[in-house]
Chain A
Amino acid sequence: MVRDPYWAFSYWDFSAETWTDIQAKLEADPSLKPTMRIHDLSASRSFDLLVSLETKNWYLHLGIPDHRYVAELGLGGGRSRFHPIVRSNEVETPRDSPSERVDPEWSDRDFEELYRLSGGGFPGLSSPGSHSAPPAL
């Protein structure tokens, strides 16, 4: 689940059988570590984050807005060794700035100004603190 332009949230659970299997692998090779392998599909690169399996969830710092990602949870021991356990759905982080794409039929001479006039640059700052609260007791 995408939280914002930089972060996603992941959760998982395993059957007892899978847990046992994982334990066995970890005991057999102490250099293996529970790892989230993040594939940045927009940049064709991947990187690893160490996670704790027992928490059953992890906030993932994906880092780049407007990129598509998929994550694999598994046991890793360096770049070359990775035993995947489960794969996530694909997500896309939102932009935190205007698109580079301009429709020639719909372009403005000074987008910077319109961006500023529209409140751009500070997403969320204008959001009310109390909104959507049910009436206080």
Chain B
Amino acid sequence: MKKGSLLLVLHAHLPFVRHPEHEDFLEERWLFEAITETYIPLIDLFDQLTFEGTPFQITMSITPPLASMLSDSLLQERYRRHLGKLIELAEKELVRTQGDSRFHPLAQHYHGRFLRVRDIYCNRYGSNLLQAFKKFQDQGSLEIITSGATHGFLPLMRPLPASVRAQVKVACDHYETLFGRRPRGIWLPECGFYPGDDQILKECGLQYFFVDHHGILHGTPRPKYGVFAPVECPSGVFAFGRDTEGSKQVWSADAGYPGDFWYREFYRDVGHDLDYSYIRPYIHTDGFRLNTGIKYYRITGKTDHKEPYEPERARLKAEEHAGNFLFNRERQVEYLHPRLGRKPVIVSPYDAELFGHWWYEGPDFLGNLIRKIVRYSEVLELTTAPRYLAENPRNQPQMPSYSSWGYKGYAEMWLDGSNDWIYRHLHKASEKMRELALAHPHAEGLMRRALNQMARELLLAESSDWAFIMKRGTAVEYALKRTRGHLLAFLQLEQAVRRETIDEAWLEDLESRDCIFPQLDYRVYV
């Protein structure tokens, strides 16, 4: 029997961005880049592990907005077009770098990679990557969990429990339509937990969630095993605490693996580096430069001087780092096992988009880590929450403390001078939504559609992404536009519902634009 378990969680999330009204919409690229650089490399890895007979256990949250976008036919078509252009650019790069021993092999590297991405996307999975993730779940390797319906930060909805409930319930119902069963676990948006929210999770049939380390450490009463065992909330739902040691090694800007000088430099991209007339067809249609995904340099050092990227050296680094990560977790477990008198579980959650998008070699790291654990480790095994709980059903009763994994550990990232003005509007809208849902328990026809659309607009306005972007200070205009736009649509719908004067053509336009959760029932707010 192994001495400890590693519970890897990849949290995959992007806000719902879909603009049929524009041919080329900048922010839709968030999805396209993540598909090319993260989701497909992960799927490719899971397929390889399956093919070679390496049994793996990974937990992945796929948030409802991301799942909606991955299965949306318009975005699928646009992604194929985007990838087609990228392959065309990669082909031109083969010609441009001909005879250049430093860059030609890199041009070949990207060209080969993008062709493989297209093969996986179009041929293997028919443009719907959810099919791929579902396949791994059905074969027992991947535990897919849900998140908030639009990734709303739940602790700041605390004054309006109906909004918290809607975020959780809509997410669980949506999951069921996509994956054919109820979700067992949830990744609370930004790991944001407020005591009592566990009761709402219970009502929705969820069995477990994750909190940051201080959620467990400062819970009531004191946790006997620190973060190395789950606790059982008063509702009967289990909470797993994040391990900080493993997180720091991967996340830390200075000491973390992704900053290694042999790894690919994120901020040097041919979209910015090459001659304007040459690159013009592959940047934004309005003519401004942006990242294409073809990046020829390695991090090299702390200055602006950059050397060409060497994929083979980087691959070896990723293997070395995986070995180092495993070594440290094994030592951690060897110390903890006798100390605790029980098998510790080390919870390591990461944003999925770190792997491949930010950290190009991340999927290689992950593949190496999984293979090393499964094939060679005598100490550590991979697990998921349901597996761990089946083996260790008796856990300490505790109510975790309010916490998040954001800046300073609470709500400051989503509540400061840059974004605090949104909450009075979000709360008011939530109040109105509940009031109207109570007033119209059996709405039909247009009225019902308008009420459902109000719920969609409210949910979309609640995405934590908008507050996050306002605070971070890049793409702020877009976050403002989305927040105001959804709130305005909500208020207009509210007026129309109250006056019972709903313009069908206008409603239809809103429904086709903000089309998330087609099966949503507004009575979730009752």
Q: Which B residues are CB-close (under 8 A) to A96? A: 218
Query: What 1/0 mask marks residues of chain A from 1 to 27 whose CB sits below 8 Å from any chain B CB?
Result: 111110001010100000000000000
Stretch among B127-135, B238-246, B499-507 lining the A interface: B238-246
Any A CB within 8 A of the CB of B405 = yes
Any A CB within 8 A of the CB of B220 = yes
Stretch among A40-48, A79-87, A117-125 lining the B interface: A117-125
Q: Contact: B243 with A1, CB < 8 Å?
A: no
Q: Which B residues are CB-close (under 8 A) to A57? A: 420-421, 424
Q: Contact: A103 with B415, CB < 8 Å?
A: no
Any A CB within 8 A of the CB of B311 = no
Q: Which A residues are CB-close (under 8 A) to B222? A: 98-99, 101-103, 107-108, 111
Stretch among B92-100, B394-402, B443-451 lining the A interface: B394-402
Q: Contact: A137 with B29, CB < 8 Å?
A: yes
Query: Which of A106, A120, A137 is in CB contact (< 8 Å) with B26?
Result: A137
Q: Contact: A118 with B216, CB < 8 Å?
A: yes
Q: Contact: B291 with A4, CB < 8 Å?
A: no
Q: Contact: A133 with B291, CB < 8 Å?
A: no
Q: Contact: B291 with A95, CB < 8 Å?
A: no
Report the interface size for chain B: residues with CB under 8 A from the other chain. Answer: 75
- In the bound assembly, the distance between CA atoms of A9 and B422 in angstroms comes to 12
Q: Contact: B402 with A119, CB < 8 Å?
A: no
Any B CB within 8 A of the CB of A97 = yes
Q: Which A residues are CB-close (under 8 A) to B247? A: 126, 128
Query: What 1/0 mask marks residues of chain B from 348 to 364 whose CB sits below 8 Å from any chain A CB?
Result: 00110110011000000
Query: Which of A89, A97, A131 is in CB contact (< 8 Å) with B251?
Result: A131
Q: Contact: B253 with A136, CB < 8 Å?
A: no
Listed residue (A9, A92, A135, A136) with the most chain B CB atoms within 10 angstroms of its CB: A135
Take A2-B158, A126-B248 as given contacts and tell me if A102 and B221 are in contact as well, using a CB distance cutoff of 8 Å. yes
A-B contact count (CB 8 A): 179
Expressed in whole angstroms, the minimum distance between the Cβ of A73 and any Cβ of chain B is 14
Any A CB within 8 A of the CB of B10 = no
Expressed in whole angstroms, the minimum distance between the Cβ of A109 and any Cβ of chain B is 10
Q: Contact: A120 with B423, CB < 8 Å?
A: no
Q: Contact: B396 with A94, CB < 8 Å?
A: no
Q: Which A residues are CB-close (under 8 A) to B30? A: 134-135, 137
Q: Contact: A123 with B224, CB < 8 Å?
A: no
Q: Contact: B221 with A1, CB < 8 Å?
A: no
Query: What 1/0 mask marks residues of chain B from 412 to 433 whose CB sits below 8 Å from any chain A CB?
Result: 1001000011011000000000
Q: Contact: A135 with B245, CB < 8 Å?
A: no
Which chain B residue lies CB-closest to A133? Answer: B472
Stretch among B52-60, B225-233, B315-323, B480-488 lining the A interface: B225-233
Any B CB within 8 A of the CB of A30 = no
Any A CB within 8 A of the CB of B274 = no
Query: Which of A1, A135, A136 is in CB contact (< 8 Å) with B158?
Result: A1
Q: Which A residues are CB-close (under 8 A) to B214? A: 120, 123-124
- In the bound assembly, the distance between CA atoms of A137 and B32 in angstroms comes to 11
Any B CB within 8 A of the CB of A132 = yes
Q: Contact: B251 with A9, CB < 8 Å?
A: no
- In the bound assembly, the distance between CA atoms of A134 and B26 in angstroms comes to 12
Any A CB within 8 A of the CB of B15 = yes
Interface members, chain A 57-116 (any B CB < 8 Å): 57, 89, 91-92, 94-99, 101-103, 106-108, 111, 114-115
Please report whether the interface of chain A is mostly helix, strand, loop or mixed according to DSSP. loop
Q: Contact: B408 with A1, CB < 8 Å?
A: no
Q: Contact: B397 with A2, CB < 8 Å?
A: no
Q: Contact: B403 with A118, CB < 8 Å?
A: no
Q: Contact: B424 with A13, CB < 8 Å?
A: yes
Any A CB within 8 A of the CB of B278 = no
Expressed in whole angstroms, the minimum distance between the Cβ of A120 and any Cβ of chain B is 5
Closest 8 CB pairs of A and B: A119-B244, A124-B409, A123-B409, A118-B226, A94-B402, A101-B221, A4-B410, A128-B251
| A-B CB contact pairs (8 Å), 23 listed | A1-B415, A4-B411, A11-B423, A89-B159, A92-B195, A92-B402, A94-B218, A94-B401, A94-B403, A95-B218, A98-B218, A99-B221, A101-B221, A103-B224, A106-B397, A108-B225, A114-B225, A119-B245, A129-B253, A131-B350, A134-B27, A137-B29, A137-B291
Which of B's residues lie within 8 Å of A, judged by CB? 13-15, 26-27, 29-30, 33-34, 37, 155-156, 158-159, 190, 195, 212-214, 216-228, 241, 243-245, 247-248, 251, 253, 266, 290-291, 336, 350-351, 353-354, 357-358, 396-397, 401-403, 405-412, 415, 420-421, 423-424, 464-465, 468-469, 472, 474-475
Q: 16 extra interchain contacts, Cβ-Cβ under 8 A, other than A2-B155, A131-B354?
A: A1-B415, A4-B412, A13-B424, A99-B221, A102-B222, A106-B221, A108-B222, A115-B217, A119-B213, A119-B244, A124-B407, A128-B247, A128-B351, A128-B405, A132-B351, A134-B469
